[in-house]
Amino acid sequence: MNNFSFFNNTKIIFGEGQINQLTQEIPADATVMIIYGGGSIKKNGIFDQVVNALEGKKWVEFGGIEPNPHYDTCLKAVEKIKQEDVDFLLAVGGGSVIDATKFIAAAAKHQGDPWAIIQSFGGAVQGALPIGCVLTLAATGSEMNPTAVVTRADTQDKLFFNSDYVRPHFSILDPQTTYSLPARQVGNGVVDSFVHVLEQYVTYPVNAKVQDRFAEGLLATILEEGPRALIEPENYDVRANLMWAATMALNGLIASGVPADWATHLIGQEITGLYGLDHAQTLAIVMPAVWTYKVEQKREKLAQYGRRVLGIIEADDLVAAEKAIVRSREFFEAMGVRTRLADYGLSADIIPNIIAKLQEHQFIQLGEHGDITPDDVSKILKLAL
Amino acid sequence: MNNFSFFNNTKIIFGEGQINQLTQEIPADATVMIIYGGGSIKKNGIFDQVVNALEGKKWVEFGGIEPNPHYDTCLKAVEKIKQEDVDFLLAVGGGSVIDATKFIAAAAKHQGDPWAIIQSFGGAVQGALPIGCVLTLAATGSEMNPTAVVTRADTQDKLFFNSDYVRPHFSILDPQTTYSLPARQVGNGVVDSFVHVLEQYVTYPVNAKVQDRFAEGLLATILEEGPRALIEPENYDVRANLMWAATMALNGLIASGVPADWATHLIGQEITGLYGLDHAQTLAIVMPAVWTYKVEQKREKLAQYGRRVLGIIEADDLVAAEKAIVRSREFFEAMGVRTRLADYGLSADIIPNIIAKLQEHQFIQLGEHGDITPDDVSKILKLAL
């Protein structure tokens, strides 16, 4: 096991009917900005639940956060915060809304050009407005971590930052809020949380037994409940298990003391930035290709994943590993997320553009060994055609 | 899954050589009290490591915390704190030292009789000095939770309290600190952490898949690594896995959203209070008896534990459950912890005294259903003779 530090001070309030706990978690004299996305929360009753729970508090709203939240949209929210003297941000939505809220929270306290927050990967954050979340989509884990991804539309840059300042003070997770999601978002959320676990698990063994078993427990849960969420969208326990699994998938716990990969995410981000694919679509395309390319290095953990999670019975590690790759691809497809660039109308023509963006962002030593160069990414993407 | 809140803001600093991180975690101008137990840390070099890491800071020491920490000893520490203007407590030891430190931290800020802290189960806590821990024994989980157990020797009362005020600000977990432990303490620690998981898992199913799998992952890890720690006391990974498993076993995570039992702990505490057995010894005695008595109610989770953790292959739940009880008892014995009252020279004569103490403490509705009465405890203890 590697040395590590673990710290996570976000309070989780989980379960049906918990949105009414909002009133106890936000200071009585706060001026709250409710931040949300395309407006579905106004149709499915969640906005009304939130407003009822805020009764007696001063609040304003800011809607229109995009699925990959735009830097410029966030800056408009910062303007409104200053006009309205907002001092508490309440994100109501999925990972994009929460990510945007994190950037807005930091930008509202930032002196100088806020793009420095992104360029410094969060190091330049000087403080942040306090954040609470009402989660409506099980996927990114943003509700219990210090990370956010923001997209700059003019330059097609999709980039992340980390800062303890933007950890949510609390997140309310009511599985019922996910009942009305379209199948595409359910599938994307399942693939996203599943790949989060895999990025922190399919590397090389360091004999970290608790972390491995927690990762395997999350994978097994998502594998069982993901397809059921498509068939039984209003099954409470299915939604609850997926929601808690997605949160635990990226809150720092299973990452503690083990190596991590993240090549799939970093390559995938460039595809979304340039070509607009859903985040989960890019993961489903890239991960099987990364694994195929790196099967020798990853075979021990791939085989362990295959045997412990997927029920693959193969004595040989390499054979088990290869079967695990095939089975993972099948799972993504079963969740309605296609796994080839061609499925999205993309060809080998895109590869130089992806490489150029990775180089521009200095993501030139990817993977758990830092040995995936731009030339390797080119070969990986050819495996994903 | 049941509704829940989860919050844990203790920072964990894990790994070899991490004691030197102390200096960054304690305010520069603090006056630190190093609190420890019987003095083994002065022989094995841990005290010196701590003192070196505190270089430049003002510190005093308070040793002599008992294995089941005494109320009166804690009050002496409070006196010294006031004399020396101590404003930061550093527990260096296992669960008893950390528990004592939690009580001392609360008592130092308490107006009136500090026994009220215990009598109110922590509700009367008005504040606490900040606490840091250097853990030297994988067992109780106290290093990452808000709970403490204190014993009043004059009345033979061993009682717990909970308060968010006494959560450690940080805990340093260096597995190497556990290399020199005597086998008895290793065995006790393994049994204690194993039983912590079981108290939160062997109840009834609520379809909480993440929590179940996390619990099973901890059980499997402790089951594999426990016996190895006796044979290979200086195997770093074995010690690291046991240490992290013990912390995760009782930090609120696997308890979230599921029922809990705790009958074994509450009955066991009275045995320790009256007859001085080690905490883990009482758990190893009582748990198989509770399970045997409640096998009908617990059979689904016992069978799940048997199949997923112990590798029991039985189609019938009751048969699998009964085998799981036998196998658990064998595991405790293999760790050197005997599982019958008679093994410690105790007979049925003690039963009325245990019952009287449970009634005095108002622990008269035990178990996950609250249906274990004093009369049931009497029958349970007869199964433990």
A380: pLDDT strictly greater than 90 = yes
Nearest CA in chain A to B253: A248
Mean pLDDT of A147-174: 93
B169: pLDDT strictly greater than 90 = yes
B159: pLDDT strictly greater than 90 = no
Cβ distance of A210 and B244 shorter than 8 Å:
yes
Cα A329-A333-A338 angle, rounded to 5 deg:
95
Min CA distance, A15 vs chain B (Å)? Answer: 4
| Rounded percentage of chain B residues whose pLDDT exceeds 70 | 100
Mean pLDDT of A23-45: 95
Query: Which long-range contacts link B325-328 to residues 24+ away (Cβ below 8 Å)?
Result: B325/B288, B325/B291, B325/B292, B325/B295, B328/B198, B328/B287, B328/B288, B328/B291
Give the domain ranges of chain A. Answer: 11-177, 181-382
A189: pLDDT strictly greater than 90 = yes
Min CA distance, A197 vs chain B (Å)? Answer: 13
Cβ distance of B214 and A209 shorter than 8 Å:
no
The pLDDT score that the predictor gives to residue B234 is 98
CB-side exposure of A213: number of CA atoms within 13 Å? 23
Compare CB distances from B209 to A2, A241, A257 and report the shortest one's residue. A241
| Rounded percentage of chain A residues whose pLDDT exceeds 70 | 100
Does residue A24 sit at the B interface (CB-CB below 8 Å)? no
Min CA distance, A154 vs chain B (Å)? Answer: 39
Whole-model pTM? 0.97
Name the average pLDDT for chain A.
97
Residue-wise pLDDT tens digits, B308-336: 999 999 999 999 999 999 999 999 999 99
Residue-wise pLDDT tens digits, B7-23: 999 999 999 999 999 99
Compare CB distances from A18 to B3, B208, B241 and report the shortest one's residue. B3
Look at domain A181-382 and name its CATH class: mainly alpha
Name the average pLDDT for chain B.
97
CB-based contact A358:A374 (threshold 8 Å): yes
Does residue A143 sit at the B interface (CB-CB below 8 Å)? no
Show Cβ contacts of residue A105 under 8 Å, excluding neighbours closer than 6 positions. Answer: A89, A128, A129, A130, A131, A165, A166
Q: Which residues of A touch B308 (CB under 8 A)?
A: none
Amino acid (one-letter) located at B227: P
The pLDDT score that the predictor gives to residue A153 is 85
Residue-wise pLDDT tens digits, A68-83: 899 999 999 999 999 9
Cβ distance of B11 and A3 shorter than 8 Å:
no
Q: Which of residues 206-225 of A touch B (CB under 8 A)?
A: 207-214, 216-218, 220-221, 224-225
Does residue B2 sit at the A interface (CB-CB below 8 Å)? yes
Q: Which of residues 228-247 of B touch A (CB under 8 A)?
A: 237, 240-241, 244-245
Cβ distance of B14 and A8 shorter than 8 Å:
no
Q: Which of residues 151-210 of B touch A (CB under 8 A)?
A: 207-210
Show Cβ contacts of residue B99 under 8 Å, excluding neighbours closer than 6 positions. Answer: B69, B140, B142, B147, B148, B149, B150
B166: pLDDT strictly greater than 90 = yes
The pLDDT score that the predictor gives to residue A48 is 97
Min CA distance, B124 vs chain A (Å)? Answer: 21
For the record, the structure tokens of B256 come out as: 């979230």
The pLDDT score that the predictor gives to residue A41 is 95
The pLDDT score that the predictor gives to residue A356 is 97
Q: Which residues of A touch B3 (CB under 8 A)?
A: 14-18
The pLDDT score that the predictor gives to residue B307 is 98
Does residue B362 sit at the A interface (CB-CB below 8 Å)? no
- Is residue B157 very low, low, confident or very high in pLDDT (cuts 50, 70, 90)? confident
| Rounded percentage of chain A residues whose pLDDT exceeds 90 | 97
Compare CB distances from A210 to B13, B208, B221 and report the shortest one's residue. B221
Mean pLDDT of B188-210: 98
Cβ distance of B6 and A2 shorter than 8 Å:
no
Return d(Cα A318, Cα A321) in angstroms, integer: 5
A221: pLDDT strictly greater than 90 = yes
The pLDDT score that the predictor gives to residue A24 is 94
Does residue A17 sit at the B interface (CB-CB below 8 Å)? yes
The pLDDT score that the predictor gives to residue B156 is 84
Mean pLDDT of B116-131: 96
Smallest Cα–Cα separation from B93: which of B191, B195, B183, B178?
A: B178
What is the CATH code of the structural domain delimited by A11-177? 3.40.50.1970
The pLDDT score that the predictor gives to residue A384 is 98
For the record, the structure tokens of B289 come out as: 């008896």
The pLDDT score that the predictor gives to residue A343 is 98
Nearest CA in chain B to A17: B3
Q: Which residues of A touch B15 (CB under 8 A)?
A: 1-4, 257
Cβ distance of A11 and B3 shorter than 8 Å:
no
Nearest CA in chain A to B254: A214
Angle between helices A263-275 and A183-199 (to 10 degrees): 140
Cβ distance of B5 and A12 shorter than 8 Å:
yes
Residue-wise pLDDT tens digits, B235-264: 999 999 999 999 999 999 999 999 999 999
B363: pLDDT strictly greater than 90 = yes
The pLDDT score that the predictor gives to residue B158 is 84
Cβ distance of A209 and B4 shorter than 8 Å:
no
Show Cβ contacts of residue B346 under 8 Å, excluding neighbours closer than 6 positions. Answer: B271, B275
Residue B132: phi, psi to the nearest 5?
Answer: -125, 155
B267: pLDDT strictly greater than 90 = yes
Compare CB distances from B214 to A15, A208, A214 and report the shortest one's residue. A214
A159: pLDDT strictly greater than 90 = no
Return d(Cα A287, Cα B261) in angstroms, integer: 42
Fold of B183-382: Dehydroquinate synthase-like, alpha domain (1.20.1090)
Compare CB distances from B221 to A2, A6, A213 and report the shortest one's residue. A213
Q: Which residues of A touch B146 (CB under 8 A)?
A: none
Smallest Cα–Cα separation from A363: which of A286, A292, A303, A308?
A: A286
